[in-house]
Structure 1
């Protein structure tokens, strides 16, 4: 009687070490699959875009012109241009994508899955870079689309108002794309802090403290020192990326991008050093 083997024959080349080599492209594909396999990841990302969109549309619909004689062009803290109204939800959306970044990196330490990840990828920095690239690119694309849609839908609520703008007006596209860049960097900062601190709660606290609370704490500094340092704080520098009209005491959009990207790069570098110095 002829026996039929239950083990399939190995295909030619399967013993080639290069076939199973860990490459940056393969790690990137792995992190992409890992992101979409978690329902909470893409739901949180969708919520961040929805917040950006809904807040902007509501702000435009609820806008009322400032009182006559207002020197700033705004009343009761209402933004003075259509772009600022469209990007009203940027801070909240930034917090959401930043927390998502923390969960993607620090969350693996909490579940213990990081051991399997680093066993499969000895060059640990590839995991950090791949996570940052996957989340950063997704946030960049979706948040930019959300900002554009928020501005477009908000135009209906601002029809006939003095602050109404068209997409082709000077600086409008730059500001809307700048919002996507800012949120993408915010998400990568969350990934870096999560990998550096390795605690979900601690990383979220650090994220909120560095980006949102640091400017308030700077109020205890002498006036001249505070005025000199405040524009370079992460939150203030990041916000400068997407403003249409630059304040006299803030950085230009280009300088804001360089400074905020520098902060994010510093966090990533610290996380890489941490990965090389520890066993897990």
Structure 2
């Protein structure tokens, strides 16, 4: 009688049979993992909450200042107040936009620099070597969360400011010409800036340097550029904050180098897409 011996591999798999492999993570699993990372950090929600309060307070405070210093006016004066677009200007002010842009850029950057500073990025990339998929999942989560955040802040600001102004009979509804554009432009400023921060964080990878770069790119650079020369005007128009100014402007004044609201929406789209691509490339092309 012949005895047949079965040899096994060191992992216990019979010889001649393919070794079992771990299934590759599906993209929605990576998105779920990034969402768990984000929502598990209490400091993240504190930062989002503080930003929301600050932005809404800026807008509501401006509307309340108008309300409290209101002088008696007749119906024609109120109509002129609305026609001049003041209620829409106070629905989301320039100061509030700057605060939200800077805060969301920083929060987007922290998604990356937080992992690099703690070293957890090594664990992430060891578990999922597909770096581009990991970064794409981060970009999806950042976009979804900040879009919801922007919609909440812009919507709440509009409702609150118009309720305050309506006590003087000068509030407007969301159906008023230009009102929906103001809310949408203000809401989408959040994900655009957050993705820009994510891209800066993936490239720079140092908290302090990334925060400085965020301020320079989002806030300082637009103040340096002017509409006086064509090249400067074109560069100025390509900045997110200036695109927001164009989209929320009421009765846009003619300039030497005019641009359209369609161009401003294009700036939003290009910044978001370019930032997402840069974030993916920033991790894929470099080591940990």
Residue 86, structure 1, aligned to residue 69, structure 2: no
Q: Which of 222, 225, 231 in structure 1 is aligned with 2:231?
A: 225
Question: Is 2:140 the partner of 1:140?
Answer: no
Cα pair distance change 1:245/1:180, threshold 3 Å: farther
CA distance in 1, matches of 2:235, 2:70: 34
Q: Which residue of structure 2 aligns with residue 52 of structure 1?
A: 55
| Contact in 2 for aligned 1:86/1:150 (Cα 8 Å) | yes
**Residue pair 2:142, 2:194 contacting (<8 A) in 1 also:** yes
Q: Per-residue CA shift, 1:68-87, capped at 9, x if unaligned?
A: 9xxxx99xxxx952222121
Gaps of 5+ in 1: 1-14
Paired with 2:119 and 2:40, the residues of 1 have a C-alpha distance of: 17
Structure 1 position 129 matched with structure 2 position 141:
no
Paired residue for 2:222, among 209, 215, 229?
215
1:91-122 CA distances to partner (integer Å, 9 max, x unpaired)? Answer: 20221111111111111111111100111111
Inter-partner Cα distance in structure 1 for 2:199 and 2:235: 23
Quick check: 1:172–1:244 contact (8 Å CA) kept in 2? no
1:264 to 256, 269, 272: 272
- Partner of 1:240: helix, strand, or coil? helix
Distance 1:202 1:241, change over 3 A: farther
CA contact (8 A) 1:61 1:158 kept: yes
C-alpha distance in 2 between matches for 1:65 and 1:17: 72
2: CA distance between counterparts of 1:267 and 1:184? 11
Where 1:169 maps in the other structure, the secondary structure is coil
Give me the whole-angstrom Cα distance separating, in 1, the residues matched to 2:146 and 2:279. Answer: 21
Q: CA deviation at 1:224?
A: 4.0
Q: What is the aligned residue count? A: 255
TM-score calculated relative to the size of structure 1? 0.80
Q: Corresponding residue for 1:30?
A: 33
